[in-house]
């Protein structure tokens, strides 16, 4: 009986070791102070070959668009919307519509107005969906904190 339990445990552990969670997108962050009262936050997605993430402007009924939620702060306010480069636009049969997406890498930018010289970081979360030619992964949510520097 002990042998069966040990064999079962080894089988479960070895299977778990080979099961990998796919994470074809990695996020990195930076900020640049433009003046004493303004900064730009950069949110960069590095995307594995063959995968893509979607634009912020995907229409209703399509895939989950990339979105950014910035935490309210007494130290800064957002100055306009988060901007993105021009996406690749293609008809996707799965969704029955043209969708905008990014491959390889993309940098989103958010201008902020600094209310305080002591502003230290911009915090928030982002949501995105990753797909390739065969499948889409469930939407993912990532928290971020971007140091503003001095």
At residue 3, does pLDDT exceed 70? no
| DSSP 8-class letter at 136 | B
Identify the architecture of domain 23-147 in CATH.
Sandwich (2.60)
Residue 121, judged by CB atoms within 10 A of its CB (0-12, 13-18, 19+), counts as middle
Better-predicted residue by pLDDT, 18 or 104? 104
* pTM metric for this prediction: 0.84
Spatial contact of 90 and 24, defined as CB atoms under 8 Å apart: no
Copy the structure tokens of residue 107: 């940098």
Average pLDDT, the chain: 87
Report the C-alpha gap between 54 and 103 in whole angstroms.
Answer: 9
* pLDDT for the residue 16: 39
For the segment 6-21, what is each residue's pLDDT rounded down to a tens digit? 333 333 333 334 445 7
* pLDDT for the residue 94: 83
Q: Three-state SS for 121?
A: strand
Better-predicted residue by pLDDT, 14 or 116? 116
Report the C-alpha gap between 106 and 99 in whole angstroms.
Answer: 16
Q: Cα–Cα distances in Å, from 71 out to 76, 109, 125?
A: 10, 16, 8
* pLDDT for the residue 22: 85
Give me the sheet containing 97-103, strands edge to edge: 88-92, 97-103, 52-54, 130-131
For the segment 120-150, what is each residue's pLDDT rounded down to a tens digit? 899 999 999 999 999 999 999 999 999 987 6
Better-predicted residue by pLDDT, 84 or 6? 84
């Amino acid at each position: 009986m002990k042998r069966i339990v040990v064999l079962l445990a080894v089988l479960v552990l070895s299977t778990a070791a080979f099961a990998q969670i796919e994470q074809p997108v990695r996020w990195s962050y930076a900020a640049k102070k433009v003046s004493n009262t303004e900064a730009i936050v950069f949110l960069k997605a590095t995307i594995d070959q063959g995968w893509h993430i979607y634009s912020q402007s995907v229409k209703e009924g399509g895939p989950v668009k990339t979105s950014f939620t910035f935490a309210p702060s007494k130290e800064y306010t957002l100055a306009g919307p988060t901007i993105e480069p021009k996406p690749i636009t293609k008809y996707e049969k799965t969704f029955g519509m043209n969708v905008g997406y990014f491959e390889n890498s993309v940098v989103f930018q958010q201008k902020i107005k600094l209310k305080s010289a002591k502003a230290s970081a911009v915090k928030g979360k982002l949501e995105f969906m990753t797909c390739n030619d065969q499948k889409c992964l469930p939407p993912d949510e990532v928290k971020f904190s971007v140091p503003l520097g001095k």
